[in-house]
Amino acid sequence: MVDQAPIVLSDFQMKESSINLETAGALLITDADDEKLQKFAPVYANGFGCEKQENVSSWDEFVELLKKYESIEKLVLLFHGSPGAVEIGSQNKDLSQGLTLFKDDDNIPKISEIFFEACVVAQGLDKLVPFAGFFHASKLSAWSWFLGMKTGYYDSPGKGEVIKTDPPYLVNDDGQKIEEEDMTPEQKEAYEDLLKDYEMQIKKEEDKLEYERKKKIEEFLDSRKEYLMIGSPTMDEIAGMEPGRYEIGIEWFENITITDDDEEPEPWEHDDHKPRISAKTDEIEGNKEEVLKELEKRELDWNMEVPFVNLIIKITSY
C-alpha cells in the first residue's frame, strides 16, 4: 500500500465546506420591528421583482444574514436612513461602521446591485463606494431626499352589470310566440336580425358601463398615479378589482424631515413633495478612482443645496 500525504484544506476551502451558502436573485431586507416598513415591504418587493423578503432587528442580524449568502444579484435595503447611514432596530450606523461587524474570516457575499430605499443615504457620498466595493457590487442606487410613505384608499366601483331585457321573439297573427322550430325561412331570417340587434344593444350598454368605470378610475389616478408606491397595482389590475375599498401605498420625496401627520394635505397637493419619477437620475460610471473624483464634485455642489436625485454609481473595476 502506497502512503498518501494528508489532504490539507485552505482556510477558504474549510469555510466553504462547512457552510451551506445560499444564492439569491433579488432579495429585499427590511426592519423586522418597524410596522410601517413591514406593511409596505411586500409592495416594494413586488416593485423590484424580489422573490424573497428577509427581516432583521439589528445591524448584527443584518451582517449574520448576509454571511449566509454566496451571491445576491439584486439587494434592496428598505430601512430608515440618514446621510451615508442606515438605522436597523435601535442601531443607527454609518455604512463604514456596519462593515466592521464582518470579521476577517467571515464569508462575504458577492452582491451585483444594491438599492437603498431609504431617506437621504446618498448624502453620505464618502460612504457609498467603500460599501459597494466591500461586496464587489457593480451598481449602487441611493436617494438624496427623504422618502415618505403612507396608506391611501381606493373605492373600486367594480364592473357594472347591464340589466338585460328578455330576448326578442316573433308572434303570429293571434299574438302567440312563434317557436324557432316552427318558423318559416323568412321568419327565421327576420328573427336572426332581431337577435343581432338585441345583442348589439347589450354590447353597447356593456361598453358604455366599462368606459364610465375606467373613466372613474382614471379620474382617481389622475393626481395620484405618479405617487403610487413602486410595486402598486397597475391600471389594468386596478380595473379588475371587485367593488370595495382597497388600501394603496403612496410615496413621495421631500428635502425636509418627513412627518407623520394624517391631517396634512396629500403629497400631490404639496409643491415640495415630489414623486419618484420626477427625480433626476445622476449616474456616475467608471473605475473606483474615477467614481470617487466625481463624488467629490457632487459633495462641493451639494454643500449649497441638495438636489432631488437618484444617485446611481456604476463601478467598472476596483
| pLDDT reported for residue 19 | 60
Q: How far apart are CA 239 and CA 37, in angstroms?
A: 27
| pLDDT reported for residue 236 | 74
Whether the CB-CB separation of 239 and 215 falls below 8 Å is answered with no
Three-state DSSP at 79 gives coil
Q: Quick one: cell of 43?
A: 409592495
Whether the CB-CB separation of 146 and 256 falls below 8 Å is answered with yes
Please give the chain's pLDDT, 318 residues, in tens: 444 444 444 444 444 444 689 999 999 999 999 999 999 999 999 999 999 999 999 999 999 999 999 999 999 999 999 999 999 999 999 999 999 999 998 999 999 999 999 999 999 999 999 999 999 999 999 999 999 999 888 888 766 666 778 889 999 988 899 999 999 999 999 999 999 999 999 999 888 888 888 788 788 778 788 999 999 887 678 777 777 888 889 999 999 876 655 556 788 888 889 999 999 999 999 999 999 999 999 999 998 899 999 999 999 998
Q: Quick one: cell of 220?
A: 382617481
Domain assignments of the chain as residue spans, ordered by start? 19-145+279-315, 153-249
| pLDDT reported for residue 7 | 42
CA-closest candidate to residue 119, choices 27, 249, 256, 248: 256
Buried/exposed code over 221-240 (b: 16+ C-beta within 10 A; e: otherwise): beebeebbbebbbeeeebee
Q: In terms of DSSP H, where are the helices of 225-311?
A: 235-239, 288-302
| pLDDT reported for residue 39 | 95
The predicted model scores a pTM of 0.80
Q: Count other C-beta atoms under 10 Å from residue 34's C-beta.
A: 19
Q: Quick one: cell of 157?
A: 366601483
Three-state DSSP at 297 gives helix
| pLDDT reported for residue 18 | 43
| pLDDT reported for residue 277 | 95
* CATH T-level fold of 19-145+279-315: Rossmann fold (3.40.50)
